[in-house]
Structure 1
Amino acid sequence: MKRAAVVMAVVMSGLCLLPACFPHDYIIVQTEKNIKDAREYCRNKYTDLAVVQSKEHLDKLMKLTGLNSFWIGLNRDTDAWTWSLEDETYYGEGDTKFPMWEDGYPIDHTNYKSCVMMAQNGKWKDDLCGNIHNFICYKNSTEGTSETSPSFIRVNTLMTWDAARAYCRNNYIDLASVRNQTENDQIKNMASNSWIGFYRNSWRWSDGSEDVFDNWLPETPSSDLDASCVAIYTGKWANSRCINTRPFVCYNRRTEMKVVKVGLKKAGPSVDMEELGEEILNMVRIPKYQAQTGRLIPERP
């Protein structure tokens, strides 16, 4: 009868790729850096700037730091364009992805919030939301007639994007959404650098994960055009200029350890089972994780 050997191997689980799925440790760095240098430091030595996805994460972080103000990894999401009208039933498949950008747009303004206007040629341009333009409201389909296409109305009063949206919502439904070429052409005939409902006002974490934990200070994010990065002030988010320097917190992703049983069958008399088992263990052996510091400590020989 052929002998069989069993090797117990400890491996690291990598099934979950979202930061929130991993337990992780925070590392406090007292040296003050701007956000770019802080991010580079964290990525070189650990995983990234701190991600805080829950009240539990926040409580853990605040107990460790003892700091009043420090950088975390939250920053503006320059790709998160969306429509002001949030009614999902209004949009069919692909309707929210209809792009009509003018060449060279969108412009990557340094501010986190940017809004869109339609030019006379029907192309879209992003602009600072605090600038003033006339705007196009969505008035809904014409009731009591056979017309089923949505109707739009131009308002000639000059307003900021936020004021225009408030006006449209108070008097009609919302700022105009553009779902297809037909609607774009319809609005083009009345637009002259007019606000429509497309805008960007979103945040994400430095490692690419979405911001799902709302923890902003009252009246933040502020309207400072350069305040595109986020620091913690007394346990709450506040946006700040990225060139400012302050202490920061990194995080290190901790993966779970699992035990895998591997059965080996002896194929011939020349095979040394103990030597083969040791060779396999060497192939899968991974440095131990020291949770107290968040550092990887190499396996001792």
Structure 2
Amino acid sequence: MLTKLVLHDMSASTSVNVYERVFRDCIGLQVLYLTSCSCAHTTLVVDAPCSHIRELVLEECSFFVIELRDLPMLVRLACSLTDTSKILFGSVPSLMDTNLSFSLEDDSIVAARWINEFDSFLGMSPTMANLVIRFIGRRTWIGASSPEKKLPHLKKLLVADMPSNWDISWTRGLLMASTFLEVMHIHVPHSETEPDYLRGMNWSKSRNELRHHHLKELVVIGYTQRNIWLLKYVVRVCTSLQRIVLLKDGHVRYIGLWDWRMVGQQTCPWSDDEKMVLRRMMKKFGLRPLPKLILG
């Protein structure tokens, strides 16, 4: 009869069978939270075809590999991962809402390996409609990369706490991999110092450039003139774009683990010259009709 279970601070001597039996034997369970849980094994395999778990949250657990081999009813997933851990998907046919927090070390080799694993993860979860990606820890630079597989059902995307010195064309890859994406929100925390270097910012227009026919809204918090290339690209290829919101500073207000609001500051810090440059750029590169532009 148990429908909700929270396990917290389980000791390192805990057998992996304890966790696996929770998934397998508690067939009425619908919500499961594992928080700061340790284990005698490094791999957790979830193979529970009779499970009714709809919501699963894994926070700061010691597993190196979490394999969701069979969770047929899982709808909502939240997981915090480090550079030494990863999550693998088998059969999760009902998964809709996903929240992933990544903690990266200040090491370019580790970062490069991580981005490849992240691309693989995206391709393994094709049913997602709502995705939150958060970055915590040190600000390691990662270059542009496009997922190898598509996310055909993704409609709403948040990339939060994105380091200001990252190549923002990484988000372009996510956009083009998500054919039916309707809402794309990007949050770059305010930084007092300029990035040391940026790469890949000047995107030339290709004759065979693909169009994106479903994106309706783009919101960027932490917008600077360095991001003009992303904006040019979006207004050039997104045929259904209705609303662009560019905020120089602000934060993400989370509503639970799978929903959020983008909150800007009260005053508008844009100069008349900056506004003129943006509007001229949109008239020059944007498709018709032009989307509504909101600055803050």
TM-score normalised by the chain length of structure 1: 0.19
Structure showing greater Rg: 1
**Which structure is richer in relative contact order (CA contacts within 8 A, separation 6 or more)?**
1
Higher strand share: 1
